[in-house]
Amino acid sequence: MNAPRFVTPRFVTFEGVDGAGKSTHLEWFAQTLGTRSGHEVVVTREPGGTPLGEALRALVLHRPMDLETEALLMFAARRQHLVDVIGPALARGAWVVCDRFTDATVAYQGAGRGMPIARIEALRAWVHPALEPRLTLLFDLAPEIARQRLDATRDKDRFEREAQDFFVRVRTAYLRLADEEPARFVVLDGSGSIDHIREILEKTITSICL
Ligand code: ADP
Ligand code: TYD
């Protein structure tokens, strides 16, 4: 069922449980990558990244729905994103820095909600058979700390309101993915200071710009 994958040189994704720190570092990472590499950097997100994708995002984050519908909408938004934004950017030689991608579907719809992984793999093989990130930065944080951060800062969407055991499953799934693909993942301790995480990101940028 799994189509062969190739690793695209300039595709970077950010992943982690909600509240782990992705948004805190995304813009800085993209700017630094642009300066160091001398290439255009496109910053985008999933679900979203296109007008249609953002409309689908508003639905999946706020409307109650069946699990299969949820997964299909994630992939529908992804397909449009690949056609309109990610594909053209990679084709012109830009870096793409994307806040979440298919690993999030494996972690949230798969491990979090219990969707069989074979179904997600089938959708992956259909929607992007030949595209995987070159680098995935996994912000790892204990769900109880992530929850405290979210409680302090924002109104929660349908995912962020999930119980702690949901996020324990999501976190475990992410760590398993990182274990399975150590060459693609860099796992960052999200409980470290913002400065410390930035230092590691800086070294990572240096290594991918070589
Ligand atoms: P995400 O994008 O992963 O959901 P955010 O970057 O929005 O997470 O961070 C969630 C909250 O935690 C924000 O209020 C942010 O300022 C805070 N935060 C992020 N990183 C750290 C950190 N390393 N230490 C303490 N607080 C942090
Ligand atoms: P995100 O943009 O990280 O939200 P925020 O910036 O508010 O933290 O992600 C939105 C939510 O969508 C997040 O809870 C994870 C979820 N999600 C999935 O469940 N499956 C997916 O395939 C993707 C891309 C996101």
Task: Kindly state whether residue 124 falls inside one of the protein's structural domains.
Answer: yes
* Number of domains comprising the chain: 1
* Structural domain includes residue 189: yes
14 lines ligand 2 (CB under 6 A): no
For residue 82, tell me if it sits in a domain.
no
Contact 78 CB / ligand 2 (< 6 Å) = no
Cα distances (angstroms) measured from residue 91 to each of 40, 70, 84, 86, 187 = 12, 29, 11, 8, 28
Residue 56 inside a domain? The answer is no
List residues near ligand 1 (CB under 6 A): 16, 18-24, 139, 149, 153, 190, 192-194, 197
Q: What is the CATH number of the domain that holds 165?
A: 3.40.50.300
Distance 129 CA to ligand 2 centre (A): 22
Provide the token pair at 106.
């494996």
Q: Give me the DSSP letters along 145-183.
A: HHHHHHHHH----TTTTS-HHHHHHHHHHHHHHHHH-TT
Q: Is residue 78 part of a domain?
A: no
Q: Is residue 80 part of a domain?
A: no
Cα(75)–Cα(205) distance, rounded to whole angstroms? Answer: 29
* Residue-range definition of the domain harbouring residue 165: 13-39+92-209
Asked if 15 and 136 count as a contact pair (C-beta separation under 8 A), the reply is yes
Residue 129 lies in a domain: yes
Mean pLDDT, 10 residues at a time, the chain of 210 residues: 61 98 98 97 98 98 98 98 97 97 98 98 97 97 96 91 97 98 98 98 95
Q: 205, 157 in Cβ contact below 8 A? A: no
Query: 162 in a domain, yes or no?
Result: yes
20 beta partners: none
Task: Label the pairing between strands 11-16 and 95-99.
Answer: parallel
8 CA to centre of ligand 2 in angstroms? 22
What pLDDT, on the 0 to 100 scale, is given for residue 153? Answer: 87
